Amino acid sequence: MNARAVTLGLVSAALLATSCASRQAMKREAVVIAASANALDNDLGRLDSALDTVHRLRRVRVEGDRLSAERAARVSEATIAAWALDHDPLARARVEVFHGVREASDAIGDHAYGAIDYKLNVEEPVPGYAIDRHSLRTLVTQLLRLARPSSFKDEAKFFIEYGVQVGTASAEGIDEVARMANEHKRPPPPPPEDLPPGDPSVGDPPPEAAGPSEPDAPQPEREPTP
Amino acid sequence: MGNGPRLRRLLGSGAALLVAALALPACGGHLHRAGDAALSEAALASNDALDFEAGFRERDEAEGALLDRELSAARAQVDADRDAALIAILEDYGGRAAWSARLGERLAELTGEGMDADMAAFIERFGQGGKDLGDFQAAFRELERARDSYLARAVALDLDVQRAPPLECPGLDDPARSPELDGEFAAFTEACDAMGQLFARLGQGEGALGTLSARLAALHRSMDARAERGREPLSAYVNARASCRAIDDEDFVAVARCLDAELDGSLMRLDDTPALEAEQAAFVGLDLDSLGEGPGDPLRLRLLDEQVQAVERVLEYEASGRFTADGDPLEKPREIERSEALDEVALALAVSGTRATVKLDGKPRRYGVRGSELALVLELLSIERDGTRTIHQLAMHRLDLDYMRVEAMLRERQALLAAQTFLLDPGCAAMSVEDALVAEPGSEGAAGQCASYLRASLIEFAKAWTVGKARARESEVRSDALHEHEMRVRSTMALATRGIWMAAAIAELHRYNASGLRPETLATVVTNLAGFAVVAAGVFR
């Protein structure tokens, strides 16, 4: 059993110990939010449906009004046409008076209210709320996936993968620690006697690294090797 | 690796430490799960994709196009009715019975009285009709003039909206309004009262005109009464600032708590001042109940504005780390600066129906706020404020359309009265429509005069549609569309509020899943522990 295996096992055990209530609470929260989103989706559907119904009823009414007005207008036109075909003075007077009265009343109606503003330009669109229901349904699905209880197999897989990731990531560091430990354990080679103290080849820092110093200044004593 | 056994022992010690370190926080901490984090991030993105702001653009455009078609169809119907009526009169082989019948019927619908009995009655009624129409137009012009004077004065004084709140009739006097506008406000109130009295006078009549006028008079009375009773809590809120400071100006917490209590009391009194039953009936009769106790209530709107502004400023203080109310605080005397800050904190505390908390540390000029909670409160309040404002505006526009309908009815009545000339003139009593048609207008004798009367009367009769009915129908169609719009805003306010809560919950969920102990972090801990163990072993060997 090597160091990596021991680490992996202990880390996995520790991780199991920490897997507790906070995640369960998160899953419960996800279920609640998913239910809320689903309810919102249902209500949006009802609102859309209600608005469509109102819109459809208004369109039906408009169409009815338009057809009724057109029918009445055709009847009137037919009567006027019949008068126009008749050449007696009464018919001519009827056609003339009809057109004259209509034009006069139209002209008066068009200019009757010019001076008074009743704030008629009020149909500017007010921002409403068009929710993309497809996104809402995707959201519900995602939340439910998040809230799904983990099986023993899933949990085991997660912890093994997590442990492997930790082990892999820490392996290099542990190897480095082991190398350092071995290096410190190896006794240093004895310094050659003909070399003066402070020779860079035996491990003293170069003058640049050690900072500025006087050339004739006495060198510090070397630390004892552990 | 000759150091293997020792290192394993060291690792054993490190791992034991690790277990202890992880077990200690136990339920408090959690491990980062990349899968959960990715899912919650996707959920966050899906939620962001729910475009609450952009919305219903297509529907709004469709509504606008539909309204155009409705107006066009309504006008076509009115024109067709007019043409059919004209043809029926011109084709009346029986003399003038068709005209008399149509005139009398419509006058009765409008005023409760049919055609006049004779010329004398006609002259008296025609004169009264002209006076009513003239009075209405003068009252409306006076209202507009008073509003313009108020605005001009406010601009000249360089007053902001809070000190010069918009005027509406019937409306609300704001306690924060500048006293320098007292004169202009009094003139506007007087013009409003005059309009209300005119409606009351017209409401004594019968028919559609009398019914609508009576309802508008009742609405004026009820909104005045509601504003009168609602003014007390609003004024109490303004006065609370001074009285609370008088307790102990040095004790920040005591003052803020006093303001909080006072404002809570004011809010409760405001909620406890519903419209009276009789007043409520006026709102309902005109389908304008949203102006009563509903979301379009001006008192409610005023209060929501205060709350939103207060929370915004508190958040601003929090972000800047200092009091920044109304301009540069460094240029203000310290006492004024502090007083303003106290007001803001107290208002934020008074936000009702939320869980927002403001922590006071008891030291003057310092306090702490949970920014995220207040930001949520701000979003919720903003939705309510914006929706309330929209509903209020829609309701006031519908009230304007009711004013327009009254004028349209007055004009229609006047045109119908004038159309009686040919029928009531003694000189034309024996003349049928056919005879008057073939006679030359303006020619010598009674026939020529009657021919002129006939044509003028027919024009007046047709005018009853184009200046009266057409305009009244336009008002109804627009009002219906605005009413539907209001219903849409009400629904969407509720949906948006739910969306805000949901977004906050999803953000919280994501914060949880995005955090947690990551494998690489734990690997670093393991390596460091191993390193410490090696060093420790070296030191204590």
| pLDDT tens per residue across span A168-177 | 877 777 777 7
Torsion of CA B204, B206, B208, B211, to 10 degrees: 40
What average pLDDT score do residues A25-51 get? 86
Q: List Cβ neighbours of A153 (8 Å cut-off, separation of 6 or more).
A: none
Instruction: List the structure tokens of B410.
Output: 């007055």
Q: Is B266 strand, coil or helix? A: helix
Task: Please give the residue of chain B at the shortest CA–CA distance from A107.
Answer: B466
Q: Which residue has the higher pLDDT, B262 or B184?
A: B184
Residue of B222, B218, B197 lying closest to B142 (CA atoms): B197
Write out residues 17-36 of B within 8 Å (CB-CB) of A.
18-19, 21-23, 25-31, 33, 36
| pLDDT above 80: residue A33 | yes
> Where do runs of H (alpha helix) occur along chain A?
3-18, 21-85, 89-111, 133-147, 152-185, 207-210
CB contact under 8 A, B73 and A69: yes
CA distances from B84 to A74, A81, B77, B96, B379 (A): 10, 14, 10, 16, 57
pLDDT band at B352; cut points 50, 70, 90: very low
Q: Which of A44-53, B65-74, B319-328 has the highest mean pLDDT?
A: B65-74
Mean pLDDT score, A20-34: 81
Pick B72 or A20 by higher pLDDT: B72
For residue B36, the model assigns a pLDDT of 86
Percent of all residues in chain B with a pLDDT value above 90, rounded to a whole number:
28
Residues B197, B200, B205: CA angle, nearest 5 degrees: 140
pLDDT in tens, B484-520: 888 888 887 888 888 888 888 888 888 888 888 888 8
- Best mutation target among B44, B53, B56, B58 (most A Cβ atoms within 10 Å) is B56
Q: Band the pLDDT of B64: cuts 50, 70, 90.
A: confident
- For residues B449 and B386, the answer to whether their CB atoms sit within 8 Å is no
**pLDDT at res. A151:** 76
- Please state, rounded to an integer, the average pLDDT across all residues of chain A: 71
How close, in Å, is residue B248 to chain A by CA atoms?
Answer: 46
Residue B88 has pLDDT above 70, yes or no: yes
Contact B6 A15 (CB under 8 A): no
CA–CA distance, A198 with A219 (Å, rounded to integer): 7
pLDDT at B351 over 70: no
pLDDT score recorded for residue A209: 39
Q: So what's the pLDDT on residue B11? A: 52
* Nearest residue of chain B to residue A142 (CA atoms): B43
- Report the range of poorest mean pLDDT among A73-77, A216-220, B64-68, B462-466: A216-220
Long-range contacts of B322-326 (CB under 8 A, 24+ apart): B323/B365
Q: What is the pLDDT of residue B418?
A: 94
Task: Look at B167 and B352; give whichever has higher pLDDT.
Answer: B167
Q: Please, which pLDDT band fits residue B320 given cuts at 50, 70 and 90?
A: low
Instruction: Measure CB to CB from residue A11 to each of B18, B36, B470 and give the nearest one.
Output: B18
Determine whether the interchain pair B15/A7 forms a contact, defined as Cβ–Cβ distance below 8 Å.
yes
Under the phi-then-psi rule, with left for phi > 0, alpha for psi from -120 to 50, and beta for the rest, what region is B56? left
Cβ-based contacts of A80 with chain B (< 8 Å): 87
pLDDT at position B350, please? 54
User: Which of A143-147, B339-343, B436-440, B452-456 has the weakest average pLDDT?
Assistant: B339-343
CB contact under 8 A, A128 and B55: yes
> Which DSSP letter does residue B169 get?
S
Could you give the C-alpha distances from B25 to A37, A51, B32, B282, B526, in angstroms and in order?
33, 53, 15, 65, 17
**How far is Cα B381 from Cα B384, in angstroms, rounded to an integer?**
5
- Average pLDDT for chain B: 78
**Rounded CA gap, B44 and B32, in Å?**
17
Residues of A in contact with B527 (CB under 8 A): 170, 173-174, 176-177
pLDDT grade, residue B353 (50/70/90)? very low
Lowest mean pLDDT among A32-41, B111-120, B237-246, B326-335: B326-335
Residues B12-30: what's their mean pLDDT?
47
Q: Is the pLDDT of residue A105 over 60?
A: yes
> Which residue of chain A comes nearest to B406, CA vs CA?
A118
Residues of A in contact with B4 (CB under 8 A): 3, 178
* B358 strand-pairing partners: B369
How close A51 gets to chain B, by Cα (Å)?
8
Q: What is the mean pLDDT of residues A87-111?
A: 89
- Touching A: B residues 417-476, CB under 8 Å: 434, 437-438, 454-455, 458-459, 461-463, 465-467, 470-471
Distance (Å) from the alpha carbon of A196 to chain B's nearest alpha carbon = 30
**Mean pLDDT on A16-30:** 71
Instruction: Give the confidence band of B25 by pLDDT, cuts at 50, 70, 90.
Output: very low
Chain B residues near residue A125 by CB distance under 8 angstroms: 57, 60-61, 63-64
Confidence of residue B453 (pLDDT cuts 50, 70, 90): very high
**The pLDDT value given to residue A152:** 78
**pLDDT given for residue B1 in this prediction:** 43
Residues B273-297 have a mean pLDDT of 69
d(CA B199, CA B183): 25
State the best of A1, A96, A166, A183 to mutate against chain B, taking most chain B CBs within 10 Å.
A166
Which one-letter amino acid corresponds to residue B287? D
Kindly tell me if the per-residue pLDDT of B249 is higher than 60.
no
Whether B348 contacts B311, CB under 8 Å: yes
pLDDT greater than 90 at residue B419: yes
Nearest by CB: A174 against B69, B458, B530: B530
- Chain A neighbours among B 468-527 (CB < 8 Å)? 470-471, 478, 481-482, 484-485, 488-489, 491-492, 495-496, 498-499, 501-502, 505-506, 508-509, 512-513, 519-520, 522-524, 526-527
Q: Between A30 and A185, whose confidence is greater?
A: A30
For residue B22, is pLDDT > 70? Answer: no
CA-nearest residue to B48 within chain A is A135
Q: Do A80 and B467 lie within an 8 Å CB cutoff?
A: no
Chain B residue nearest residue A52, CA to CA: B59
Q: Do A19 and B66 touch (CB under 8 A)?
A: no
Backbone angles phi, psi at B51, to 5 degrees: -85, 90
**Contact at CB, B462 and A226, closer than 8 angstroms:** no
Whether the pLDDT of residue A125 is over 80: the answer is no
For residue A191, give the 3-state DSSP assignment: coil
Beta strands B367-369 and B358-360: pairing type?
antiparallel
CB contact under 8 A, A33 and B140: no
A148 CA: distance to closest CA in chain B (Å) = 11
Cβ within 8 Å, pair A173-B60: no
User: Do the Cβ atoms of B492 and A129 come within 8 Å?
Assistant: yes
Can you tell me the mean pLDDT for A22-36? 85
* Share of residues in chain B with pLDDT > 70 (%): 72
Best mutation site among A22, A74, A101, A183 for testing chain B: the one with the most B CBs within 10 Å?
A101
- Compute and round to an integer the Cα radius of gyration of chain B: 36
Determine contact, residues B317/B323, Cβ cutoff 8 Å: yes
Q: Please state the rounded mean pLDDT for residues B269-290.
A: 67
Highest-scoring range by mean pLDDT, B5-9, B33-37, B250-254, B403-407: B403-407
Instruction: Give which of B31, B391, B465, B485 to mutate to test A binding, by max A Cβ within 10 Å.
Output: B31
Q: What's the complex ipTM?
A: 0.73
Are the beta carbons of B412 and B111 closer than 8 angstroms? no
Closest CA in chain A for residue B466: A109
> What confidence tier does A166 reach under pLDDT thresholds 50, 70, 90?
confident
Question: What pLDDT was estimated at residue B254?
Answer: 65
As a residue count, chain B comes to 541
More confident residue, B274 or B424: B424
Among B9, B459, B500, pick the best mutation site for testing chain A contact (most A Cβ within 10 A).
B459
What pLDDT, on the 0 to 100 scale, is given for residue A21? Answer: 64
Over residues B138-160, the mean pLDDT reads 92
Convert the pLDDT of each residue in B470-487 to its tens digit: 999 999 999 988 888 888
Interface test with B, best of A126, A144, A160, A223 (most B CBs within 10 A): A126
Nearest Cα neighbor of A160 from A7, A36, A48, A9 is A9
Of B77, B505, B522, the CB nearest to A11: B522
Residues of B in contact with A143 (CB under 8 A): 43, 506, 509
| Residue B328 pLDDT grade (very low, low, confident, very high; cuts 50, 70, 90) | very low
B280 or A19, which is more confident? B280
Distances (CA, A) of B433 to B133, B141, B421, B447: 30, 40, 13, 11
Chain A, nearest residue to B492 by Cα: A129
The whole-number average pLDDT for the span A126-136 is: 58
What is the mean predicted confidence (pLDDT) over B209-222?
A: 90
Q: Is it the case that residue B410 has pLDDT exceeding 90?
A: yes
